[in-house]
Amino acid sequence: MKKTIFKGAATALVTPFKDGAVDTAAFGNIIEEQIVSGIDALVICGTSGEASTLDDDEHIGAIEFAVKTVNGRVPVIAGTGSNDTRHGLNLSKRAEAAGADALLVCTPYYNKTSQNGLKTMYALFADSVDIPIIMYNVPSRTGLNIEPQTYAYLADHPNICAIKEANCNFSKIAETFALVGDKLDIYSGNDDQTVPILSLGGKGVISVLSNVLPAETSKMCRLYFEGDVSQSAAMQLKYVPLISALFSDVNPIPVKEAMFLLGKCTPELRLPLVRMSAEKAAVLRAELVKAGLDVKN
């Protein structure tokens, strides 16, 4: 059995911007608040971190900053996937050198590949670094699904350790669990499916919700692992309206707005992302308040 990277909730952290640049002051404060709140791991430069709009120096700089700020308190997982495998490999090697504990590698987007291409690509990533790889399957963004048989093939690689699964097809997810056994840890990639994934044997969630509710998202997982399934499920259901509001526009538009409303950072996004409508923002604000959060803006 491979070593588990984390168990519980990892936040797919936003990247705060100010006047066009990464706002390291806000970034540092957000990271500290996450750790104090009991988050189990942090994902830097993932989709929620607007990684595709960061240049390489910003990308690696954000990882270096997070590693230094975290200082070993929780695992730092760096997003390094790309539609250009050479580019992704370069980012991966630089992220490893920056001190990342693991890598989150999405399937290639736009220039989609075959299942054989996925096998070749992920094996190359895993052969190129000495830190573990989490495969990220998100067909809604990439138009490409990692099939259970492909997971089973890759599960034998010693450096491929986990899956962030966001394909929403529970029949496929169950088949994957059955095929890979304990060779791969599986994390939910969708906040509204955390407890269902745990019920199949998942190790936790890579979460957008935990940007605003880190303690609660971690607790939801912990309760399940402790055997209190009913309370864990109750938390899952309690936060369904907030989760819906956080995905009422293209991620990370709503969560960046939420962080602004909570006074954590500016609402600044990078094109092609733009701020959500006033109507959707009002619904989001109301759900933040209902969740007991202190809305400042």
User: Can you count the helices (H) and strands (E) in the chain?
Assistant: 13, 10
Residue of 119, 122, 151, 164 marked catalytic: 164
pLDDT at 289: 98
Query: Which residues are within 8 A (CB) of 163 and not within 5 positions of it... i.e. 6 or more apart?
Result: 134, 135, 136, 137, 146, 151, 176, 184, 185, 186, 187
pLDDT at 1: 66
Q: Please report the sign of the dihedral spanned by the C-alpha atoms of residue 228, residue 187, residue 44, residue 278.
A: negative
Please tell me the distance from the alpha carbon of residue 157 to that of residue 58, in angstroms, as a whole number. Answer: 31
Q: Are 284 and 254 in contact (CB under 8 A)?
A: yes
**Does residue 275 lie in a domain region?**
no
Q: Are 9 and 34 in contact (CB under 8 A)?
A: no
**Does residue 237 lie in a domain region?**
no
Residue of 122, 136, 224, 239 marked catalytic: 136
Residue 202: domain span:
8-214
**Number of structural domains found in the chain:** 1
In this prediction the pTM is 0.97
First and final CA of the chain: distance in angstroms?
A: 47
**Does residue 253 lie in a domain region?**
no
The series of mean pLDDT values per 10 residues for the chain, 297 residues long, is 92 98 98 98 97 97 98 98 96 98 96 96 98 96 94 97 94 95 97 97 98 98 98 98 98 98 98 98 98 95
What pLDDT, in 10s, does the model give residues 27-55? 999 999 999 999 999 999 999 999 999 99
| CATH classification of the domain holding 172 | 3.20.20.70
**Does residue 143 lie in a domain region?**
yes
Q: Are 246 and 191 in contact (CB under 8 A)?
A: yes
pLDDT at 2: 83
Q: Which tokens sit at 67?
A: 């590693």
Task: Give catalytic status of residue 136 as yes or no.
Answer: yes
